[in-house]
Chains A and B, each alone.
Chain A
Amino acid sequence: MTKAQWRFEFYRTGVVIITAVLLSLLIIVLVSDMPGLAIKLFLTGPLDSLRHFGNLVEMVVPLLFTGLATTVMFTASQFNLGAEGAFFFGAIGAAFIAVNWNLPPVLHPAVAIVWGGIIGSVFCGIPGALKVKWGSSELVSSLMFNYIAFFLGLYLINYLLRDVTAGAMVSFPFANSSKLVKIIPKTRIHTGLFIAVFTVLVMGVFTYRTRWGYRIRVLGTNIEFARYSGINTTWTIVMSQVLGGFLAGMGGSIELLGMYRRFEWQTLPGYGWTGIIVAILAHNNPFYVPLAALFLAYMKIGSDIMSRSTDMPNEFVAIIQGMIIILISASSFLSKQRHKMIVREAIS
């Protein structure tokens, strides 16, 4: 992209975000009986105490992984929406290691995270393999696979890992050696944050500086040109999704080992879905994923805090997300301005 195009995309994304936020404020004003307090908590809540700030960072960590996972798959033009299922299933894989194995502290979570990643990569790789083998749309099959992951996962927990003495459908407690260490007192921020930041850098370099990343980018831009360039497109299509699944599975494992003592999810946690929005907002650039993840986490935590002290329900954040998706993916939004800019630039 030329500089002007970048500038325009930046500006467009900014307008989208501002529009979404303003509209959500409008909804608060219309719906709430205490709009002043609600807006204040929504906008400043995540920063008003260390605990709330901690919540924000805790939320960013899983979003980085699911955002990166979706980014790498979208870069290859593979519209695999399986990050949600891979996240969930990866976490279940990690839970088995955390409960059943005995390993020294640092090694234990490392093994669990890698194992969770492998489970996730198998999970996202299957829709990819189905695509190259039988031409089934990865979008449809990955979407369906999320439910397979969910129910199969609950089955495994229920029959193999359930602590019947606990009184709820949860697993046995994790071994202490398997947990990720908390790094900031009074918050639950854990060492997973370092892994996440490191992964962002690795994925950025991978995408733009390695030949594998090059193959994925060429594949995503023009599959015929990829073939023509001697790139094994079948392999690359599958590998991009395997890699995406690995990242999502890692993310699920890290979330579980950093934030929980038992496996206790009864529904899909939703980080995979939000990860798709993260990837779209970041324009599939790994280096922008942290910004997008931070923004979305801020909205979520803000509405959470707001819902606790006011009459606004926290589901209202879904409205903002929906608006962002529609506006960003509506390619003709602001296209007149873009064309004017191009005409001005071209003629001058």
Chain B
Amino acid sequence: MTSDAVLSMEDITKVYPNGIVANKGVNFSVRTGEIHGLVGENGAGKTTLMQILFGLNQADVGKIFFNGKEIKIDSPHAAIAQGIGMVHQHFMLVPSLTVSENLVLGLEPRRGFIFDKSRGIHITQELSKKYNLKVEPDMLVRDLPVGLKQKVEILKALYRGAKILILDEPTAVLTPQEMVELFNELRQLRDEGNTIIFISHKLAEVKALCNRVTVMRAGKSQGVFNVEDVTEEDISRIMVGRDVILRVEKDVAQPKESVLKVNRLTVVNSFNKRVVDDISFSLRRGEILGVAGVEGNGQRELVEAITGFGSYGLGSILIDGEDIKQLSIKEIRDLGCSHIPEDRMSYGCAPTLSVRMNLLSYKHNRREFNRRFFLMHMSTIRDVSTELVKEYQILCTSTEQEVRCMSGGNIQKVIVAREFSDNPKLIVANQPTRGIDVGATEFIRKRLVELRDRGAAVLLVSADLNEVMELSDSFLVMYGGKINAFIEDVSNFNEEKLGQYMLGLKSQDVDEIGRALHD
């Protein structure tokens, strides 16, 4: 431990109720006035470590020292009392309240028994000026773009007296422009003597922003480094334990006939809002069509309409020429449509059932898995599962293990194994690599390209810009439920322009977008 550490965590071990060891003997310390990067793959234990620091989780073993004194943090209250604040990956704001109301929530200024609204606004303006984070106190939080919500969260932590600020993957939801702004603000906060812990798995950001960096791998700390002394490649190697190439090798696509045709599709949600607004495109055999865009711009509803999960009002969706409007999820699947759902725990698996039973899923009706008298062919199910586990390199103790005891990457592989092994005609992959480790990501991306080459049509919806740019042959940008741009050739396109399309600052004209419909 360095003597100038303002805060240090020693020998932290945390085991979750499902038996996953999230942290094992981790040491971690930060100094005053630094931006400290905490990097590691998803599932490496970064978030858990910070949740322990913020009192959202309790360590099973280990101690926390603040200014050399041991402290106990058993709740976020205790953490805030010590001057530790956290900005979560998923914002903890009340959407129906204004910015200033959210900011002072829990520590409201009062006049007698009544909430003093104008003082709240005043406080917000003062703070906003002091830290140079511009927000509108009167705006409702639900009307704010993601970048501003994040500023409100940061201000909220500062208002509560945070000197040490934990930011959990703050850039995951930001466009490139918003990111630059955030970085400038963070640097300023640091220069004023605050300490910032910056959790990320994007190394370029860490390199650009941080002073020191702690690298985690598989629940253990791999050491602390001065950012100037190491290259991105160095950190990457330490983080993953080997050299990874995240470039996917692929040839130029050779698209054939259309499999999926979406024609003037409109989806209206329960609040009567047009969440998908008159969009048309087609997807051909042998190509990967990306769908980029800030989350919540209609991508989910589009996927739900295609896979039969949600209904749609106007327009048509054709798979292999067949209108799917009246078809059930099962009938759409029978047309050869595979679906990797966005939220693997809620839609993609049955957590308390075995790997075997999860691999079976929609195939349980197939003749090969059934015998006479409605009995299932248990030995075939076992053999097929064992083969898939081997082929897709799924790490599990046996095919009878419950999936909830596995890591996110492995659960995702179970889903992918199930969906890809069926010789699908159309693959709807919604965030196929979200929140999983680099190894599994690489594996899944390669498979997608392989399936493309074998003649599958792939619709790739992803909030990860790199993924869309890397994998797609061409892609759409969605904004406000509409297609804002269609980029036919991914290779000569820059990220900045993409950011402008994503934010709706720019859009292509009708003819350019119309090219998304091929025939």
Contact = CB atoms under 8 A, between A and B. Distances in A.
B330 A222 contact: no
A2 B15 CA distance: 16
A339 B17 contact: yes
Interface string B464-502: 000000000000000000000000000000000000000
Interface string A192-227: 000000000000010001111011011001101111
Interface string A74-87: 00000000000000
A225 B401 contact: no
Interface string A90-114: 0000000000000000000000000
Interface string B343-368: 00011111111000100111011000
Given A209-B378, A210-B374, A230-B329, A225 B349 contact: yes
A77 B402 CA distance: 18
Contact of B357 (A205, A214, A231, A342): A214
Contact of B361 (A2, A229, A343, A345): A229
Nearest to B402: A1
Nearest to A225: B350
B364 A217 contact: no
The interface residues of chain A, by DSSP majority, are classed as helix
B133 interface: no
Contacts of B60: 339, 343
Nearest to B13: A347
A231 B401 CA distance: 23
Interface in B401-447: 401-402, 405
Contacts of B351: 221-222
Nearest to B307: A228
A342 B339 contact: no
Contacts of A346: 15, 19-21
B333 interface: yes
A231 B364 CA distance: 10
A229 to B, nearest CB: 4
Contact of A2 (B347, B350, B402): B402
Contacts of B328: 230, 232
A338 B402 CA distance: 17
B107 to A, nearest CB: 32
A258 to B, nearest CB: 28
Nearest to A228: B347
Interface in B382-408: 397, 401-402, 405
Interface residues of A, number: 29
A232 B330 CA distance: 8
B341 A228 contact: yes
Given A214-B364, A218-B350, A347-B24, A230 B330 contact: yes
A215 B309 contact: no
Interface string B128-165: 00000000000000000000000000000000000000
A236 B375 CA distance: 17
Nearest to A222: B350
B376 interface: yes
Given A1-B402, A205-B375, A230-B328, A217 B357 contact: yes
A342 B15 contact: yes
A337 to B, nearest CB: 12
B29 interface: no
A95 B498 CA distance: 76
B75 interface: no
A221 B404 CA distance: 12
A215 B370 CA distance: 14
A222 B16 CA distance: 21
**Chain B interface residue bracket vs A:** 35 or more
Nearest to B20: A346
A212 B370 CA distance: 11
B329 A227 contact: yes
Contacts of A214: 357, 360, 364, 376
A90 to B, nearest CB: 24
A347 B13 CA distance: 9
A211 B365 contact: yes
Contacts of B349: 222, 225
A221 B339 CA distance: 20
Contact of B401 (A2, A205, A229): A2
A209 B375 contact: yes
Contacts of A218: 350, 353, 357, 361
B346 A222 contact: yes
A235 to B, nearest CB: 11
Contacts of B374: 210-212
A211 B362 CA distance: 11
Contacts of B370: 211
Contacts of B19: 2, 342, 345-346
A1 B346 CA distance: 19
Contacts of A232: 328, 330
A180 B39 CA distance: 72
A210 B370 CA distance: 8
A228 B353 CA distance: 15
Contact of A225 (B347, B378, B405): B347
A98 B401 CA distance: 50
Contacts of A338: 17
A338 B19 CA distance: 10
A1 B350 CA distance: 13
A342 B404 CA distance: 14
A231 B20 CA distance: 31
Contact of A215 (B17, B20, B364): B364
B118 to A, nearest CB: 44
Contact of B17 (A209, A210, A342): A342
Contacts of B405: 2
B234 to A, nearest CB: 30
Contacts of B348: 225, 228
A221 B15 contact: no
Given A209-B376, A214-B357, A217-B357, A224 B17 contact: no
Contacts of A345: 19
Interface in A221-259: 221-222, 224-232
Among B21, B357, B361, find the residue whose CB has the most chain A CB atoms closer than 10 A.
B361
A226 B341 CA distance: 13
A226 B20 CA distance: 26
Contacts of B339: 228
A285 to B, nearest CB: 13
A92 B17 CA distance: 48
A221 B347 contact: no
A347 B16 CA distance: 11
Contacts of B375: 205, 209-210
B364 A224 contact: no
Contacts of B378: 209
Contacts of B17: 338-339, 342
Contacts of A221: 350-353
A211 B376 contact: yes
Contacts of A215: 364
A2 B402 CA distance: 7
A230 B346 contact: no
Interface string A127-139: 0000000000000
A265 B402 CA distance: 46
Contacts of B361: 218, 225, 228-229
B346 A224 contact: yes
**Nearest 3 A-B pairs (CB), nearest first?**
A230-B330, A221-B350, A229-B361
12 contacts: A2-B402, A210-B376, A211-B364, A224-B346, A225-B348, A228-B309, A228-B339, A228-B347, A230-B365, A339-B60, A346-B20, A347-B21
Given A205-B375, A231-B330, 7 more contacts: A209-B378, A210-B374, A211-B374, A214-B360, A225-B350, A339-B60, A345-B19
